[in-house]
Structure 1
């Protein structure tokens, strides 16, 4: 079943600037695409993800590590096999379902997020807190700009 976060994410991710910047955060810094999108979505809704990040990571990490990342690794390896077209598409669909499960977890705790200004700065505050939790030093300016200032 879809929900507001999923629908918002699909729309945002469909914009090339958002897609490219969030995948760069995943590939370069090991950040979770869904957590980045969740921080931005909550901010766009006038809520702050920062106080919920510990709980979010506690709930997401086992699923992400054991399921989503494993499926992603297989999908990426399949690209090296020229006759893997149908299997690649099937694994890609499984990866999308795993990502949806992550979003369901995040959506489930989103109602606890406190009110905050619906601004890019609110998103940046949560994203920077997430990076600190992840032990990464990240410039989120491109991602925040892509989400809040382009293609709306």
Structure 2
């Protein structure tokens, strides 16, 4: 019999009103389920502490931050286990694009901050902003490619909880980038990202529009 409170199939009627709300982490995982990777990544990267943690991992291990965000989404959003084989295949899927397009744009953006002459000036600053926009657009295309890759895989959701799946997935891609298991500081950064991933979404009467880019460091 449908519940008189919510219309779902609870019995007796109104039972759902007496049940405790799901744990915050579980509720957040439900919200993330089937969320496109780009939306997930933009949300997660914008949460407190996540960007600095991602950039520390990038600088220390040459990690592709998009692969880290992909791994968090793969575990937390899709609730799937990221095996070493899948991690390597995901990296291969975007490796040429990242190497030949994203990294050169990043190098130009960084170089324009201090030179060569006539940089830095107002005109080259505007050019640097244009390059940064192109870099971000290239990274968003990379996220879309990783999303498409994930949805070609045959395996369904894992019965495991999403939080350990996301933790294991992020550890996997960090180890892949570093060529060794994550060290203590890297594990701390992963723990910070994981905590932000499952933090409840703040409610606002008029939430701002979702950003259209993953902000990057201004080095």
**After TM superposition, is the score higher than 0.5?**
yes
1:142 counterpart (189, 192, 205): 192
Which residue of 69, 74, 78 maps to 1:42?
Answer: 74
Gap change, CA 1:102 and 1:136, over 3 Å in 2: farther
Question: Which residue among 54, 57, 62 is the counterpart of 1:22?
Answer: 54
TM-score, length basis structure 1: 0.87
Residues 63-102 of structure 1 mapped to structure 2, 5 A cutoff: 63-80=97-114, 81-83=119-121, 84-102=124-142
How far is 1:48 from its partner? 2.5
Runs of 4+ in 1 over 3 A off after TM superposition: 149-152
Instruction: Specify the SS of the correspondent of 1:144.
Output: helix
Matched, 1:59 2:93: yes
- TM-score, structure 2 normalization: 0.62
RMSD (Å), alpha carbons: 2.0
For 2:141 and 2:127, the matched residues in 1 are separated by 21
Deviation at 1:151, TM superposition (A): 5.6
Contact 2:113–2:120 (8 Å) recurs in 1: yes
CA shift in 2, pair 1:150/1:25, >3 Å: farther
Gaps of 5+ in 1: none
Greater share of residues in helix = 1
Give the unaligned 5+ runs of structure 2: 1-34, 203-219
Partner of 1:105: 145
Q: Quick check: 1:10 aligned with 2:42? A: yes
- Count the aligned residue pairs: 150
